[in-house]
A and B are shown apart, each in its own frame.
Chain A
Amino acid sequence: MRYSYLTRTVLVVALTVTAGLAVSACASPRDEAPLAGAILWQQTCQQCHEFRSPADYDDQQWETLVEHMRTRANLPAEDAEAILAFLQSGN
């Protein structure tokens, strides 16, 4: 049986979404409140690279860098804001 390109795309996306929801549901329950910037910084930035010290840049530079990385890594806005607040408080 052959499926059209569109059908296959929809099927795979649906499977991805379903799998994500299933794994998410199996994950241990967690606090729904926004995570602290420090934890998000550790969880998010370390996905790709080593940590940069908050002291490496000033407040304005961190704003620009976090905006750059928010786009690149598709970070949720609230996570990016929390990470930025942490970085600016630690430099």
Chain B
Amino acid sequence: MRLHAARIPILAAVLLAAPPLVAQELADELQEPDMDQFVTVDEFDETMDEIDQKIGQLEAVRPGSRDFMVTGYATATYADLDGSASDFIAGFNPIFLFRPAEDLLFEGEFEFNTSEGELNVEYAQALWSANQWMTVGAGKFLSPLGQFTERYHPAWINPLPDAPLFAAHDGLVPTTLTGAQIRGGIRSGSTIWKYTVFVANDTQLSEADEGGGGTEGAEGPPVGYGTVSDLSQSKAFGGRVAVLPLPWLEVGFSAMSSSPNDTSGAALGDLTLYGADVSAHRETAVGFVRADAEFVTLSLDDTDTERWNGGYLQCALRPNFGGTQLSDFQGVVRYDWIAFPTGVPSDLEPSRWSFGVNYWIAESTVCKLAVERLDFEGEQSNSILLQLATGF
């Protein structure tokens, strides 16, 4: 009796929220049970199970709950950099997923970040699963060039509190592109092939001396990648092909061709980008090892005198201490850099070593402590970063 009474408000709420016709149909099936009809405890439990089942069916058709969910990640960061004020930074990145049909998915991520002080649409796209090996997408999407930007940049996935120099916002690789893409994965025996091709609004470059490359004040690559609206008639196109010859090893190659403009719309020549990436993630005798490497080279007008390159090498180990609490720690080391065109003094090229220790509080929540040493303009500076990140 008590169990039944507890379910009545739930049932009423769900019925009110469900589409009228469906709700009425289900409600008709589920008449208020006559408590006198119960003879045994088993019969009572059976009726209660039936009510639970109906509630589940109603939940499935309630508007706003069907195939809609919110996921994402959030961060709280403290950064202490040599020569500048220390800073607390908060980030909140909800991801909205809506699947109105079996083969259709809308996804969007919004970025709230106190350091940038604004709301940013990280990506928003519609995806249509055309068949077993091809998905067609359109909208604003994460750049599929390489692996870091598309897959490893979320704070609860990236083992360090910040991105490699070349992959930071306004780095060598565009963070997002606005256009259309076709992508998929194909298994051939034990080998997996992955592909992505895209056409997108052309890149829009900022002035070369405005900085960039993730290092304030550096003569960074002339890339602003303002691709939301296209100022030219041409389009950027490119893609990535990758192979997993072994389940734990992925090797990829990326390329992009673009005819960028400056902010006034004037053509700046042809931009060509190549990238190569390797990742190996595997459980070993000493623990789980993540090894990643990525290299990007970018040229304007296909000349070696106007060529930037950058990349990173990273290795993370979560040692296996027999399931003890020590197994929740993770060590990580990374080297990343950006190199500038011929003629730029080499001491203006930033390079950085990062060392981190992470503690996994839960399966998707990590506390990261990192020490970074940046070599730039002939000087070395140290940073300490502390970050709490969670995926939800």
Contacts and interface: CB of A to CB of B under 8 A. Distances in A.
B157 A16 contact: no
Interface string A62-76: 011101101111111
Nearest to B147: A48
Contact of A20 (B191, B272, B360): B191
A70 to B, nearest CB: 8
B62 to A, nearest CB: 11
A46 B281 contact: yes
Interface in A24-63: 24, 27, 30, 32, 43-44, 46-53, 60-61, 63
13 contacts: A8-B274, A17-B243, A30-B190, A43-B248, A46-B281, A46-B288, A47-B250, A48-B151, A64-B68, A65-B97, A72-B150, A76-B133, A76-B187
Given A16-B253, A49-B364, A64 B133 contact: no
A41 to B, nearest CB: 12
Interface of B: 60, 66-69, 71, 97, 99, 105, 107, 127, 129, 132-133, 135, 137, 150-152, 156-157, 183-187, 189-196, 241-243, 245-253, 255, 257, 272, 274, 279, 281, 288, 302, 360, 363-364, 391
B105 A64 contact: yes
- Give chain A's interface residue range (CB within 8 Å of chain B): 35 or more
A1 interface: no
A47 B281 contact: yes
A57 B321 CA distance: 29
A71 B391 contact: no
A51 B274 contact: no
A16 B192 CA distance: 13
B274 to A, nearest CB: 7
Nearest to A79: B187
B246 A23 contact: yes
Contacts, number: 125
A47 B274 CA distance: 23
A24 B255 CA distance: 24
Contacts of B107: 68
Contacts of B133: 76-77
A78 B67 contact: no
Given A24-B191, A64-B105, A71 B363 contact: no
A86 to B, nearest CB: 16
A36 B56 CA distance: 29
A77 B242 CA distance: 16
A7 B158 CA distance: 35
Given A5-B257, A23-B246, A46-B288, A51 B363 contact: yes
Contact of B127 (A27, A61, A71): A71
A48 B157 contact: yes
A49 B156 contact: yes
B67 A20 contact: no
Contacts of B364: 49-50, 52
A88 B98 CA distance: 19
Contacts of A67: 99, 105, 129
Contacts of A48: 151-152, 157, 281
Contact of B186 (A23, A30, A49, A76): A76
- Ranked nearest first, the 3 interchain pairs of A and B with the lowest CB-CB distance are A20-B243, A74-B194, A23-B245
A52 B302 CA distance: 45
Given A27-B246, A65-B71, A74-B195, 19 more contacts: A12-B253, A17-B243, A20-B191, A20-B251, A21-B243, A21-B245, A23-B249, A27-B190, A48-B152, A49-B391, A53-B363, A63-B99, A64-B69, A64-B97, A65-B69, A70-B135, A73-B185, A74-B194, A78-B187
B185 A75 contact: yes
A9 B69 contact: no
Contacts of A77: 132-133, 185
